[in-house]
């Protein structure tokens, strides 16, 4: 029996207090394929009350018990792995290969990393005669986005449980089905009543209510900077901790000593991954001024090598964007790029010619982009790359850092010492040298308007803890 119209509260699947539904749209077809219920303040109150009751006992459970629980969750997650991937493909249009190898994989990998970090995590230390202890912060409201649903759900739920917190999760209402499957995983794993709760709904009626709830001790939010500001303002009245992972406009500096063909081609691939719907995507490619036209030729070939189409087709590697709203925004920004004088190297407005429905974007590369252009400054969140010229290293560093965001940066060079020197100048939470593999044991989070706090492994656990010093504790 489907749980799509229910919420998970206090260990049970329950109907909403006030019936209200929302169609879930498959972005490949533009058609509704299921419905979810939308929550209200009454549902949030119920879920928070359950989490508050559970915290009294769960916060005192021994590490071994919470560790065993996380391992059981991972076991059940792996049993439902293909269901999770199918849910992501249906709700956000991810090609099935990507849903299996990246989207569902991210949830598994972060659960494994949290477990490994938790096994060795130190919850207390002596400083002279003072004992410093780390204790669970309390009831946590977790608000997650649609673009990497399992990545963000697990990056919040797993460390919160490791810390001894209890949670209320609000997945994105645009891509909610993978969150429902995850709640089924938690139930099957035997998570104690009230430790994990899930309420679907929109931002104003559920997300903001959670953020402002007096019995919520912390909000962990991932989404747009605009929405993050609203969450932070709402949470401020109760002076609760707010951790945020927000927008980005990450620079990819191709240094003069890089393997140019490889660096530019992989840069296009990195920008277009997940159909460009990643907050840390390398969307601004910075190239030496004298090699700008060479970069455009390489980028054109790389972009035109992507196969856009049905997410269920084996050869598709670029699906639709998630919604009509996103499609319209991206089309507007592509047109703005054209109007402001950027060169369309490939792509442009409209759908790919072979597609007449679905929220599909033509893979687009802009050349001769200048720093003040809209496409160089706004987060587009689609398969759109802007290529910008620089004079020397200092100029590249200046351009890269000239943004309100600071989530990620990318440096390409055949001289690792050169790459490291430039990395040291980046104002970004993660700096990637020469396209490394995804490291789930690194920290993840941003500078400036890309947020605050850090996720992944032990960094994530730390954010869900309070620090208490017992002075005069003795030897």
- pLDDT (tens digit, 9 = 90+) per residue, 415-474? 999 999 999 999 999 999 999 999 999 999 999 999 999 999 999 999 999 999 999 999
Query: Do both 317 and 428 map to the same domain?
Result: yes
Q: Is 445 among the domain residues?
A: no
> Would the pLDDT of 151 be above 90?
yes
Q: Do residue 363 and residue 324 come from a single domain?
A: yes
Candidate list 140, 184, 279, 455, residue with the active-site label: 279
Burial of 336 (C-beta count, 10 Å sphere; 0-12/13-18/19+): middle
Neighbours of 392 (CB within 10 A): 11
| 140 catalytic residue (yes or no) | no
Q: How many domains does the chain have?
A: 2
**257 and 234 assigned to the same domain:** no
The CATH number that applies at residue 76 is 3.40.605.10
Q: 297: which residues sit within 8 A by CB, 6+ positions away?
A: none
Q: Are 169 and 293 contained in the same domain?
A: no
Confidence (pLDDT) at 475: 86
* 240 and 256, same domain (yes or no): no
Pair (154, 85) in one structural domain: yes
Q: Is residue 203 part of a domain?
A: yes
Stretch (H or E) spanning 410: strand 408-412
Distances in whole angstroms, Cα of residue 30 to Cα of each of 4, 33, 360: 19, 9, 10
pLDDT tens digits for range 312-330: 999 999 999 999 999 999 9
Is 82 a residue of the active site? Answer: no
User: 228 and 112 in one domain?
Assistant: yes
* pTM of the complete model: 0.97
Task: Name residue, tokens 């969150």.
Answer: 179
Assess whether 357 and 219 both reside in one domain. Answer: no
Residue 181 clears pLDDT 90, i.e. is over it: yes
Annotated catalytic residue within 112, 173, 245, 379: 245
Q: How confident is the model at residue 1 (pLDDT cuts 50, 70, 90)?
A: confident
Asked whether residue 102 is domain-assigned, the answer is yes
Q: Is residue 119 part of a domain?
A: yes
Interatomic CA distance for residues 150 and 144, integer angstroms: 9
- 71 and 90, same domain (yes or no): yes
Q: In this structure, is residue 316 part of a structural domain?
A: yes
Q: Is residue 328 part of a domain?
A: yes
263 and 237: one domain?
A: no
**Smallest Cα–Cα separation from 320: which of 265, 381, 387, 385?**
381
Domain range for 43: 7-246+450-470
- For residue 1, being part of any structural domain is answered with no
DSSP bridge pairs for 287: 389
* Residue 30's pLDDT band (cuts 50, 70, 90): very high
Let me know if residue 2 belongs to a domain.
Answer: no
Residue 108 pLDDT > 80, yes or no? yes
């Amino acid at each position: 029996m489907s749980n799509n119209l229910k919420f998970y509260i206090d260990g049970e699947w329950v109907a909403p207090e006030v019936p209200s539904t929302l169609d879930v749209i498959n972005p490949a077809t533009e058609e509704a394929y299921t419905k979810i219920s939308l929550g209200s303040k009454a549902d949030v109150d119920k879920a928070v009350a359950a989490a508050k009751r559970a915290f009294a006992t769960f916060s005192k459970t021994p590490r071994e018990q919470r560790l065993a629980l996380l391992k059981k969750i991972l076991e059940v997650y792996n049993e439902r792995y293909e269901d999770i991937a199918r849910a992501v493909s249906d709700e956000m249009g991810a090609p099935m290969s990507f849903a299996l190898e990246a989207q569902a994989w991210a949830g598994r990998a972060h659960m494994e990393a949290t477990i490994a970090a938790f096994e060795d995590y130190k919850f207390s230390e002596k400083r002279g005669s003072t004992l410093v202890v780390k204790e669970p912060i309390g009831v946590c409201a977790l608000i997650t986005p649609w673009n990497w649903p399992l990545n963000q759900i697990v990056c919040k739920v797993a460390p919160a449980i490791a810390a001894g917190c209890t949670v209320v999760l609000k997945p994105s209402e645009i891509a909610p089905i993978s969150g429902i499957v995850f709640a089924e995983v938690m139930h099957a794993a035997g998570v104690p009543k009230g430790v994990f709760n899930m309420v679907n709904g929109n931002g104003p009626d559920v997300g903001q209510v959670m953020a402002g709830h007096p019995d919520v001790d912390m909000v962990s939010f991932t989404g747009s900077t605009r929405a993050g500001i609203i969450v932070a303002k709402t949470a401020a009245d109760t002076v609760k901790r707010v951790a945020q992972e927000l927008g980005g406009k990450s620079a990819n500096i191709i240094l003069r000593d890089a393997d140019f063909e490889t660096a530019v081609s992989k840069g296009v691939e990195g920008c277009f991954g997940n159909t460009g719907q990643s907050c840390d995507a390398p969307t601004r490619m910075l190239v030496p001024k004298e090699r700008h036209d060479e970069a455009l030729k390489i980028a054109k070939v790389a972009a035109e090598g992507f196969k856009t189409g049905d997410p269920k087709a084996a050869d598709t590697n670029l699906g639709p964007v998630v919604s009509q709203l996103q499609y319209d925004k991206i089309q507007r920004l592509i047109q703005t790029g054209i109007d402001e004088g950027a060169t369309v190297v490939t792509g442009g407005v409209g759908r790919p010619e072979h597609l007449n429905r679905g929220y599909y974007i033509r893979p687009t590369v802009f050349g001769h982009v200048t720093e003040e252009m809209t496409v160089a400054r706004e987060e587009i969140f689609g398969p759109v790359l802007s290529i910008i010229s620089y004079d020397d290293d200092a100029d590249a560093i200046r351009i890269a850092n000239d943004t309100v965001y600071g989530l990620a940066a990318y440096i390409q060079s055949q001289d690792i010492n050169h790459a490291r020197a430039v990395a040291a100048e980046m104002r970004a939470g993660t700096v990637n040298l020469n396209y490394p593999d995804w490291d789930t044991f690194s920290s993840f989070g941003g500078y400036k308007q890309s947020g605050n706090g850090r996720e992944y492994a032990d960094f994530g656990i730390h954010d869900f803890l309070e620090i208490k010093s017992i002075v005069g504790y003795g030897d």
